[in-house]
Amino acid sequence: MNLLGLYNYWIYIFLLVVGLYAVFVKGNYVKRMIGLGIFQSAVFLLFISMDKVEGGTGPIFRGVPTEGQLFANPLPQVLILTAIVVGIAVTSLGLAIAIRIREEYGSVEEADTRRMDDQS
């Protein structure tokens, strides 16, 4: 259990790496946004993994709270609710820009747009 208790964090790291890789390597603007999405989700996982308490329940009172009743940590959840909305905001803006780029340049591949910018 000791090391398995880190499994969540390892997965988060893996997702982070995959997402970053996509952002760095992919030339397609839409694909990059997807990579960015994965990258951000990784961070969600990081935070949410912190909130778990062994033998605890979700941070919602059902009936009267008994003594020694364990709850998951509500704070990371709040933060990630926020972060998720940031994520969708960034994604939608990025996609909108990508659409315009396609209209202006006729392509959503960075290689093409850069070439055209260099020519102009």
Partner 1 sequence: MMTLYDQLPVLVVVLPLFLAPLVATLPSRGKLPWLVATITTALTFAISISLVTQVLETGSLTYLLGNWPIPFGIGLYIGPFSAMMALIISGASLAGLIVSASAMDNEVPAEHQSLLYSCWLLAMSGLIGIVITGDAFNVFVFMEISSLASYVMVANGPTRQGLTASFKYLVTGTMGATFYLIGVGYLYMMTGTLNMADMAVRLEDVSDTLPVIVAGGFLILGLAMKAALFPMHAWMPNAYQFAPSAVAVFFAACSTKVALYVMLRFQFQILTPNLGNHLELLNALIMTLSVIGFIAGSLIAIFSDNLKRLLGYSSVAQLGYIVLAISLGTSAGISAAIIHTFNHAIMKAALFAAVAAMVLRFGSSKIEDLAGVGKQMPLTMLGFALAGLSLIGVPLTAGFISKWYLIQAVLESGTLGILLTLLILTSSLMAVIYIWKVIEIAYFQPARQELPPGRREAPAPVLIVLWALVLANFWFGIDPELVLSLARSEAVNLMGVGK
Partner 2 sequence: MMTFFGFFTLTMVAVVAVATVVSSNLFVASMWFGIFSLLMASNFFILDAADVALTEAAVGAGVSTVLFMGALSLTADKESIRQGRRLLPIVVVAVVGLVLLIATLEQPRLGDPLAPVHQHVAPWYIEKTPEYINIPNIVTAILASFRGYDTMGEVLVIFTAGIGVLSVLSFKPKKRASISSEELGQAIRGLQHHAVLRVVGKLLIPVLLLFGLLVQFHGKYSPGGGFSAGALFAAAIMLYGILEGADRSAKAMPQKVMINLAALGCTIYTGVGVACMLLGHHFLDYNALWTDPQIAQYYGILMVEFGVGLTVTAVLIMIFNAIANRATY
Greatest pairwise CA separation for the chain in angstroms: 71
Side-chain half-sphere exposure of 75, counting CA atoms within 13 A: 1
Rounded Cα distance between 109 and 119, Å, is: 16
Q: Which residues bind partner 1 (CB under 8 A)?
A: 16, 20, 23, 29, 32, 36, 39-40, 43, 46-47, 50, 75-76, 79, 82-83, 86, 89-90, 93-94, 97-98, 100-101, 104-105, 110, 113-114, 117, 120
Residue 71 C-beta: closest distance to partner 1, Å: 15
Side-chain half-sphere exposure of 84, counting CA atoms within 13 A: 9
Residues sharing a CB contact under 8 Å with residue 34, sequence separation 6 or more, in sequence order: 22
Is 68 or 119 the residue whose CB approaches partner 2 more closely? 68
Q: Which of 14, 43, 67, 119 binds partner 2 (CB under 8 A)?
A: 14
Residue 103 C-beta: closest distance to partner 1, Å: 9
Is 69 or 86 the residue whose CB approaches partner 1 more closely? 86
